[in-house]
Chain A
């Protein structure tokens, strides 16, 4: 598109030049959009046909590999269920979802319009947005999915992914809620509000820190503080330079005031959530944080966290989001990827995911829409005492800011907070 407008917009000197220009422009557009448009075509088939085509395919599912619960959920629950549909699931662990997006981008830049290595990605927020900007995702298929009927069509958190319209380009998978973790044996009463938390940090120097953005969790903590600090001036969910310039200075001031009370006086920060978890496990700090509180029981079972570890959320609410599954346009096994996305949305798979002892990730299904049998099963789920049920976690939940906020905030943190230490 870009190439065509540039060429046709050029004043033509002579007829020949115009003709050549048009031909070149036509060729370029054809060359550029050739694989693109064929890939953009929604799978114009009915679901039964899609299922038949999916048989015998194997799906390369790219997902963050650092969550043991998620990995065993895919291997032990999803893979056998997919096998029954004739689909093989190959879990490809990545250190960060960005790596999967980079891989698709690489394929796209190499002109790979089809036969891409990535079939399905566990994605959300800024990664989804980046992929959408680069036109990577297959769109317009969710209407075909049988299990979409269990979703609440009016739920705003399913229409927007970190403020980016979902636009039929991804399938909801799990809900997540930002939360803190403390050791109840050492700290019986954790702070009850974000204000109390910052006060506690100042009263207990050296006992708190957060992962350095752009780590996902660290970045979420910075946004959490932005939302908490700006009570009298609401943060507009949509990013604008003006809103950033109004709100960011206050945030940097708050963070810089906290800095000297942080672990190692804020001269350095843990590089990611895993590093912060280690500090917490070793007793170097009194709290850690997570965007997936459901992982805490597993960390306790593994012995990394003490049995007295507990999840808490400030009463003024924390950030919440929904994560999704997206299919790249150039996926080699697109049919199977779509069938698998639908399978992962089924009450069976969503229940297996939410079940404690399993992964424990929260369902995206709307209880009202479920058949009686499944509603009862979901209602009977118990939450281990080391974490909190989703209703408690999501009390006063705040929707995530637009993905456009993430980049500027991460960069701003690096310049205004990290560099001044």
Chain B
């Protein structure tokens, strides 16, 4: 007997729902742990009170927001520019797609380690500038890795995330979009007008989605800021992992509280993105 469409739909979404439930359950457990003592017993808000009292928490939160926002914006701009540049040629598109897929295959940890080898004081680029006579030694080279600005972290993220955004955009960049662009071009619209009135609005849903994913990922990811970040301030995720691994049992609730904060920020951004994409959809289709 054929399955009713309703059941079929539910069955097909079940794996995704299970994953969401799993993540939600983990967050709930973390929430419970953040309200308990080091051994997971009792109820107390002291972990959150401790976070509010700790001046380093605000610094970490700001740093994480900065890393996530800048990586997202830079990746989006770069991806838009590259996709826009190659969209006209079939060969260019294929080349971009191949290059982007190859970058996607590199694990974040490996990318972070590679950027450490490239950009650190005694890294490859520093050695090259030394050989070229531009710097006298490692101390002269700008502190990209572990410096006061998270330069290396941002570079590593943009290198990893821009190709991801590009692939999302390429998928949305259908022949229909190109036809519309050609249509307005014949009507005399310049490059910027085309971008503003045709390309961007049509790619906006895909771009919003990609940006949300990049933001959520770079806000919560651990490897790059752990390997390439400074001692202080540290990204929230690095702080959370270190606190969780601390030998002081009392640090565990604080670590879990940080995990909850990370989850909340991502949930807020996801809500905002959902609102934006709904408005975009309404703007396109009309009320």
Contacts and interface: CB of A to CB of B under 8 A. Distances in A.
B245 A279 contact: no
B179 interface: no
Interface stretch (B138-146, B163-171, B182-190, B205-213): B138-146
B232 A102 contact: no
A377 interface: no
Nearest to B230: A268
A268 B148 contact: yes
Contact of B245 (A98, A278, A414): A98
A98 B226 contact: no
Interface string A258-302: 000000100111010000001100111000000000000000000
Contacts of A101: 247
Given A109-B40, A134-B39, A214-B242, A264 B143 contact: yes
Contacts of B55: 419
A396 to B, nearest CB: 28
Interface string B217-248: 00000000010001110000000001011111
Interface stretch (A125-133, A191-199, A331-339): A125-133
Interface residues of B, number: 24
B110 interface: no
Given A134-B249, A214-B246, A284 B121 contact: yes
A140 interface: no
B122 A283 contact: yes
B113 to A, nearest CB: 12
Nearest to A278: B122
A321 to B, nearest CB: 15
A282 B138 contact: yes
A407 interface: yes
Nearest to B33: A109
A107 interface: no
B56 interface: yes
Interface in A394-414: 406-407, 414
Given A212-B231, A284-B138, A414-B56, A267 B147 contact: yes
A73 to B, nearest CB: 25
A267 B248 contact: no
A212 B229 CA distance: 13
Given A284-B122, A414-B232, A96 B147 contact: no
Contact of B247 (A109, A127, A267, A268): A127
Contacts of A109: 39-40
A418 B122 contact: no
A356 interface: no
Given A206-B139, A284-B139, A267 B122 contact: no
A279 B247 contact: no
A22 interface: no
Contacts of B56: 414-415, 419
Nearest to A2: B41
Contacts of B147: 264, 267-268
Closest 7 CB pairs of A and B: A282-B122, A268-B230, A126-B247, A268-B146, A418-B232, A269-B231, A130-B247
Interface of A: 96, 98-99, 101-102, 105, 109, 126-127, 129-130, 133-134, 206, 212, 214, 264, 267-269, 271, 278-279, 282-284, 406-407, 414-415, 418-419, 421
24 contacts: A96-B245, A99-B245, A102-B244, A102-B245, A105-B249, A126-B247, A129-B247, A134-B249, A206-B139, A212-B231, A214-B246, A264-B143, A268-B143, A268-B231, A269-B231, A279-B121, A407-B246, A407-B248, A414-B232, A415-B56, A419-B55, A419-B59, A419-B232, A421-B232
